[in-house]
Structure 1
Amino acid sequence: MKILYYLFHFLCYMTFILPATCSLVEADRCSRYKGLCRRKCHMDEKQVDVCFAPFKICCVDRPSIDDF
């Protein structure tokens, strides 16, 4: 019975606590890169970070050749 108890706690840790601590990001990191939080980046953007919102990533415009 004790094995099931420890197994339950281990599974709860792996399911809820570990993903929450691994996804901690700085609040202003995406805005510091002048990016936007989106589900998918456009073809002319690149992914630079993750956002606080689940399943969203920080997308930043790639500099084009004309900008130089």
Structure 2
Amino acid sequence: AWYFEGVKTLGAGSAAAYITLVPVFGILCSAWFLGEALHISLVAGCLAAVGGLALMQYGRRAV
């Protein structure tokens, strides 16, 4: 229900962009709650996903 409310509020394009954060939160939660190790490739992937999302949001505001 929250997903559809977010799509309605943000619009389909923005909601689709935020789907890239699902694996980031999955990795962070598994490290925090389950004690799984964070490998450098996981951290780099998380930073790439968040950086891409930030770049996309910056590009929307610049236009």
Shorter-chain TM-score range: 0.3 to 0.5
Compare relative contact order (CA 8 Å, sep 6+) and give the higher one, 1 or 2.
2
Decide which structure has the larger Cα Rg and report it.
1
Larger helix percent: 2
Normalising to structure 2: TM-score of the pair? 0.33
